Amino acid sequence: MLTVEGLQAAYGQSQVLHDIGFHVAEGEVVTLLGRNGMGKTTTVSTIFGLLPARAGRVTIAGTDMTNAAPHRIARAGLGLVPEGRQVFPTLDVRENLIAMARPGQWTLDRVLALFPRLGERMSHKGNQLSGGEQQMLAIGRALMTNPRLVVLDEATEGLAPLIRDEIWACLTQLKAAGESILIIDKNVDALTRFADRHVVIEKGRTVWSGDNDALRGTPEIKERFLHV
């Protein structure tokens, strides 16, 4: 579904990504792990064409999409739930959800069935929602594009524990429905219960990848690359 090979990117003269490589197969859940500032969000930005790649390749469903415009990345099947949610503050819930909707299995009714709380807030503007409700809205908005792969950057950051549990429950439903997911989050324990494979990034390089058993069986990976 998604293959990233030798990806490099920079902000001006400051190179941030040096050698990022991983893949996500159809129906698979893969994490990007690493401490703050290691290049996870920059990787996502480069995949989506928001930051130009200096080298390397991004392939979506077999097609080279390196440095394609963001709207072409979206049309190729990638849906983004960005860090900080970035919902449209002056649009109501319904308008946020349909703003970038594309035909497919994910309809307004299906999103509201996944997030009933949004159905109770349909007339509320984006800036009138709680952080948890905004995150539900951001996920629902991405699903309304009917993506082949959903990318979540900091899926539960800053949310109250009960809301985090609700988000994880909804993401588990998406996985059970066969959605392909690439996810960034700081809760490694929750990710090992949810994901199929993990990719660890350190200083703009992929330094380790493996499944849940491999991650649990190598505690030094957590100690060296994930603990603050």
pLDDT in tens, 156-167: 999 999 999 999
Q: pLDDT: is 167 or 228 the higher one?
A: 167
Q: How far is CA 37 from the centre of its chain?
A: 17
Inform me whether the pLDDT recorded for 228 exceeds 60.
no
Mean pLDDT, residues 85-100 taken together: 96
DSSP E strands, 124-184: 149-153, 180-184
- The token duo for 127 is 């800036």
- The token duo for 145 is 């594009």
Inform me whether the pLDDT recorded for 59 exceeds 70.
yes
Domain boundaries, the chain: 1-74+189-228
Identify the pLDDT of residue 129: 97
Alpha carbon distance 217, 88 (integer Å): 43
Mean pLDDT, residues 16-21 taken together: 98
Q: How far is CA 7 from the centre of its chain?
A: 18
- The token duo for 98 is 């349909």
The mean pLDDT value of the chain amounts to 95
Identify the pLDDT of residue 82: 95
pLDDT in tens, 115-157: 999 999 999 999 999 999 999 999 999 999 999 999 999 999 9
Residue type, 124: H
Cα-based distances in Å from 215 to 15, 21, 101, 221, 222: 29, 18, 37, 7, 8
Identify the pLDDT of residue 113: 96
According to CATH, the superfamily of the domain at 1-74+189-228 is: P-loop containing nucleotide triphosphate hydrolases (3.40.50.300)
Contact 43/37 with Cβ under 8 angstroms?
Answer: no
Cα-based distances in Å from 1 to 28, 134, 207: 9, 28, 22
Question: Cβ contacts of residue 162 below 8 Å, gap of 6+?
Answer: none
Inform me whether the pLDDT recorded for 175 exceeds 80.
yes
